[in-house]
Structure 1
Amino acid sequence: MNERLHGKTALVTGSTSNIGRAIATRFAASGAHVVVSGRDVERGEAVVAAIRRDGGRADFVRADLDGSAAASRALAEAARRLLGGRIDVLVNNAGIFPASDTSTTDEETFDRVYAVNVKAPFFLTQAIAPMMAAAGGGVIVNLGSWVARQGLSVGTLYSSTKGALETLTRAWSSEFADAGIRVNAVAPGVIRTPDLASDEEYPGEAFMVGTPAGRAGHPDAIAAAALYLASDDAAFVHGTVLDVDGGRIGVAVVAEEAA
């Protein structure tokens, strides 16, 4: 077992599936006591059970992060109690991606996406940062996205929320530095959900044609990056957005000619 987070405590939002689940599992395998959080009790308890079977420490807190300060405060307090009075690492991972473009997005959808993707992590950070400061410091890892900096004709609303979270990453890094809190972000590229069958087609693969990786990534790649940022190995890393995207953003993509 890797012990890079030995003795640490962590709250990972949206960790009942996919990237969040991978992060929670990796943190627990690295020695952290993890609070798994999400809306689905059955999936959350399954993640906790798997972590415990592998010798890790984890608990589940059901939370519907609807963007209200009250919901974020409730999760922060529940996690604090389960983690023995302190939260060393917060991972703001929870988010939603509606299937709509600008012309089909109504006001209700707009407000809901910003509530979950921006307001919820904002107020959760507002609740947890003072706890970290009182304990002498901590780490916040946000989840951005490659689409925050690459213009696409789909997912406009989602892209803007991830851009907001990446901006908050830099602002919080400055705001909380004197309290000993490091703030960084991971920007995933196209990530294939591990729940798909190996032979099941994944539409996102088309975005990776011509990239250095040439294929979609796995949630474990994002978990590894989050672990690095959460650990003391990244003690000199502040206000950074770490692209883990198979080269999608940083390298020119050359389209292949049709046969």
Structure 2
Amino acid sequence: MRLKGKVAIITGGANGIGLAACHRFSEEGASVIMADFDEVAGKEQEALCKEKGLDISFVQVNVADRESVAKLIEETVARHGKIDVLINNAGITNDATLVKMDPADFQRVLDVNLTGVFNCTQAVVPHMIEAGHGKIINTSSVSGVYGNFGQTNYAATKAAVIGMTKTWAKEFGRKGINVNAVAPGFTATAMVKKMPEKVIEQMASAVSLQRLGEPEDIANAYLFLASDESNYVHGHVLHVDGGIMM
């Protein structure tokens, strides 16, 4: 097992890519904290995971709220005694072209996608420094690398996440902490699958591999970066996008 004995926090863990990652990590031996704002989905998924014998526990968190994040970290340490891996996966969209974007929607996306990553990482890092090791994986996006129509707020946060990843890699490498990012492309989450079939086909046709990514594709990238196999991978942005921008 590639994560045997490890303790991992996965934010946005109750749905989509985060849920796939929770399953994958537990299957590889990790004790997983499924951290999510959606209490109904979180408790439902926790029960299903327990039925499957997976070591996954739900903790409600608002990553944009520092007090909520502090409680998440305190509960994790109290329960498991350590934190080996943090996956900053939580994120939202609220799309509109620049001229139509409500400033409140701009700020809301920044609060979750950017400030949330800052809050969680700042709260976890002292525990990793004390332990002398840790893995931090931040979720960016191809939108943060290349931009995307109608996503001023989302693209800005995902570009900023790359900047923070590289900065933190410089700060924490000497402390034994690996910091990397994953940049997913179009991924077949439940939200995407609700789109009209024609739109999905157009999205897939833009990808070199001619298909959307599956949540498990992204979860496998998280797994590699969280495992000992990536101990010399640092400050890297791993594109998992089917070659969309080759």
TM class by smaller structure: over 0.9
Contact 2:193-2:200 within 8 A present in 1 as well: no
Could you tell me which residue of structure 2 aligns to residue 23 of structure 1?
A: 21
Larger radius of gyration: 1
Could you tell me which residue of structure 1 aligns to residue 76 of structure 2?
A: 79
User: Is residue 167 of structure 2 the alignment partner of residue 175 of structure 1?
Assistant: no
Could you tell me which residue of structure 2 aligns to residue 7 of structure 1?
A: 5
Match of 2:59 among 55, 58, 61: 61
Alignment of 1:1-259 (within 5 A): 3-65=1-63, 67-82=64-79, 84-194=80-190, 201=197, 203-249=199-245, 251=246
- Cα RMSD for the two superposed structures: 1.9
Per-residue deviation, 1:227 = 0.2
Change (3 A) 1:241 1:85: same
Matched letter for residue 74 of structure 2: E
- What count of residue pairs does the alignment treat as equivalent? 246
Per-residue deviation, 1:116 = 0.5
Secondary structure at 1:243 match in 2? strand
Change (3 A) 1:123 1:202: farther
Per-residue deviation, 1:212 = 2.1
Matched letter for residue 70 of structure 1: E
Which has the larger displacement, 141-150 or 198-207? 198-207
TM-score by length of 2: 0.93
Change (3 A) 1:40 1:6: same
Contact 2:138-2:161 within 8 A present in 1 as well: yes
Could you tell me the percent identity over the aligned residues? 38
Distance 2:195 2:125 in 1: 44
Distance 1:162 1:204 in 2: 22
TM-score by length of 1: 0.89
Structure having the larger proportion of residues in helix: 2
Contact 1:194-1:218 within 8 A present in 2 as well: no
Gaps in structure 1 of 5+ consecutive residues: 252-259
Contact 1:208-1:248 within 8 A present in 2 as well: no
- Per-residue Cα deviation, 1:173-206 (whole angstroms, up to 9, x for no partner): 1111111110111111000125777997273442
Contact 2:20-2:216 within 8 A present in 1 as well: yes
Per-residue deviation, 1:158 = 0.2
